Chains A and B, each alone.
Chain A
C-alpha cells in the first residue's frame, strides 16, 4: 500500500501531526480505559498485559539522521493479555520521509511468555515475533546487526522493494527492587529469506519519582511521573559478533500517568556512534481497554 502524500511542511510537521493525532485520540477515547505503566520504548520488562485487557498504543518516532532525510515512523500497537503469563500483540507500522512519500510498511506479530509464574530476583520472559515488513520501515523498534543510519538515505521507492520476513527472538530479564526496574533484552533476529542471525541488545532502568502514593488525587505530581534511561544497539551477526561498525543509543525517558488512565511518554535518543542517527525523538500514548475479553465473551454467549 502506498499513499500519495508528500512532505511539504517544516522539519517537525509530521512529528507535530502525529503527536497531535495521538493526543486527540487520548481525549476522544472514553474514560473507561486505563493505562498500563510501560515506561520503555525499546526495552521490554517482565510486566505482562493484564488478562482479558486490550492495550492500544500509538508510538511515533522522529529521526534526524546525519546523512539521510528527516523521517517519522508511526507504530500502532494492539496488545491482548491472553493469560497472566502470555501476552500477544499486533503492530502496524508506517513512515513518512521529508520530501518523499508516506508508506504503510507492514506488520509484526509478537508473543511474550513468562515461564516462571512467581516473582523472582530476575524474571525471565521469552519473546517470539514474526515480522513482515518492507525495507522502508523506519519504526526502529529495535536495533540489530549492523543497522545504520546510512541505509535510510535511499528513497522510499527503492527501500520498499525489499521484503523482510523475519523471526525475532528475545530473552528478556527483568527485576523490580525498591521501586527501581532494571530490564535487559538480548535480541536475535533472522531473515526467513536467508542471511545470518543478527544480534542486538536493549537495557532499561527506571523508577517512579515518588514511591508512596498521596491520599489525594493529583495530576502533575511526582507519584504519576516515572523517569529512566535506555541503552540499545546492534551486536553484529553470527559470523561477525562485534561492536565495531554498529549503532548504539542512549535515551533518557519520562512517562506521565494521567488520572484519566492515559499514559504519555517521551524519550530523546542520542546516537553514540558514526552509524547511529543523530537524534531519535520518541513519543507514546497508551490506553488500556479493561475487560475486553470478558465483553467479547458476553457478546458471543
Chain B
C-alpha cells in the first residue's frame, strides 16, 4: 500500500509540474477576438439591461476589482496570460457576446467560467468593461 501512496504522490507532482509550465505572456487582442468570436449570434442580440446606467458601472467596477483584477490588473491592463481589456475590441463587441464569454470562460486557456455570478452581476461587469480605455 505504501508503494501505491508513493505512486500517487509522484503522479500528482508530475501532473502539477506539467500544469504549471508554459510561456506566460499577455495574450494579443487577436486571440481575444477569436475567443469572443466563438459566441453564438443568439448571444449577441441580447441587450444589456444596465447599459449606460452609472450605478451599474460602479457596481461593475466593484465586481471587477473583486473577481477580475487579480489576473487582468486593477485597471484592466492585463497581467501574465490575461489580456489587456482596454483594447477597442472590448468596446466594439456586442455586450451579449461579452456576457456569454464571461459565463463560459475559456477553461483551456485559464479564463474561469463566471457562471456562478448571477446574470445581473455579469451585465454590471460588462457595463464597466465597456468604459475601460
**Does B41 sit within 8 A of A, measured CB to CB?**
no
Nearest-neighbor residue (CB-CB) of A163 within chain B: B1
Cβ A117 vs Cβ B108 within 8 A:
yes
Min Cβ gap B84→A in Å is 18
Min Cβ gap B32→A in Å is 16
User: Within A104-131, which residues are at the interface with B (CB < 8 Å)?
Assistant: 109, 114, 117-119, 130
Cβ A84 vs Cβ B106 within 8 A:
yes
Cβ B118 vs Cβ A181 within 8 A:
no
- B contact residues, range: 35 or more
Contact with A along B74-106 (1 / 0, CB 8 A): 000000100000000000000000000001111
Cβ A290 vs Cβ B107 within 8 A:
no
Cβ B119 vs Cβ A179 within 8 A:
yes
Give which listed residue, B20, B55, B112, B113, contacts A296 with CB less than 8 A. Answer: B20
**Does B19 sit within 8 A of A, measured CB to CB?**
yes
User: Within A230-284, which residues are at the interface with B (CB < 8 Å)?
Assistant: 261
A7–B113 alpha-carbon span in the complex (Å): 45
Cβ A37 vs Cβ B63 within 8 A:
no
**Does A132 sit within 8 A of B, measured CB to CB?**
yes
Cβ A215 vs Cβ B59 within 8 A:
yes
A28–B5 alpha-carbon span in the complex (Å): 34
Min Cβ gap A47→B in Å is 5
**Does A161 sit within 8 A of B, measured CB to CB?**
no
Main secondary structure of the interface of A (DSSP, over half): loop
Contact with A along B105-122 (1 / 0, CB 8 A): 111111111011011110
Min Cβ gap A9→B in Å is 36
Q: Total contacts A to B, CB within 8 angstroms?
A: 97
Cβ B107 vs Cβ A83 within 8 A:
yes
A165–B54 alpha-carbon span in the complex (Å): 57
- A contact residues, range: 35 or more
Cβ B121 vs Cβ A291 within 8 A:
no
Give which listed residue, A37, A51, A261, contacts B116 with CB less than 8 A. Answer: A37
**Does A155 sit within 8 A of B, measured CB to CB?**
no
Given A37-B116, A86-B19, A212-B120; A109-B12 close (CB under 8 Å)? yes
A82–B111 alpha-carbon span in the complex (Å): 13
Cβ A51 vs Cβ B112 within 8 A:
yes
A215–B121 alpha-carbon span in the complex (Å): 11
Give which listed residue, A84, A293, A294, contacts B107 with CB less than 8 A. Answer: A84
Cβ B116 vs Cβ A181 within 8 A:
yes
B16 contacts which chain A residues (CB < 8 A)? 80, 82, 88
Give which listed residue, B1, B20, B110, contacts A165 with CB less than 8 A. Answer: B1
**Does A137 sit within 8 A of B, measured CB to CB?**
no
Given A212-B59, A213-B124; A82-B15 close (CB under 8 Å)? yes
A112–B24 alpha-carbon span in the complex (Å): 25
**Does B28 sit within 8 A of A, measured CB to CB?**
no
**Does B66 sit within 8 A of A, measured CB to CB?**
yes
A269–B5 alpha-carbon span in the complex (Å): 34
Given A80-B16, A82-B16, A117-B107; A176-B116 close (CB under 8 Å)? yes
Give which listed residue, A114, A130, A294, contacts B80 with CB less than 8 A. Answer: A294
**Does B133 sit within 8 A of A, measured CB to CB?**
no
**Does A93 sit within 8 A of B, measured CB to CB?**
no
User: Within A177-191, which residues are at the interface with B (CB < 8 Å)?
Assistant: 178-179, 181
B80 contacts which chain A residues (CB < 8 A)? 294
Given A84-B110, A119-B113, A215-B59; A109-B8 close (CB under 8 Å)? yes
A297–B16 alpha-carbon span in the complex (Å): 12
B interface list, Cβ under 8 A from A: 1, 5, 8, 12, 15-16, 19-20, 24, 54-56, 58-60, 62-63, 66, 70, 80, 103-113, 115-116, 118-121, 124
A-B contact pairs, 9 of them (CB 8 A): A51-B112, A88-B12, A88-B15, A119-B104, A178-B118, A181-B116, A212-B121, A215-B55, A217-B62
A interface list, Cβ under 8 A from B: 34, 37, 45, 47-48, 50-52, 80, 82-86, 88, 109, 114, 117-119, 130, 132, 165, 176, 178-179, 181, 192, 208, 211-217, 261, 290-291, 293-294, 296-297
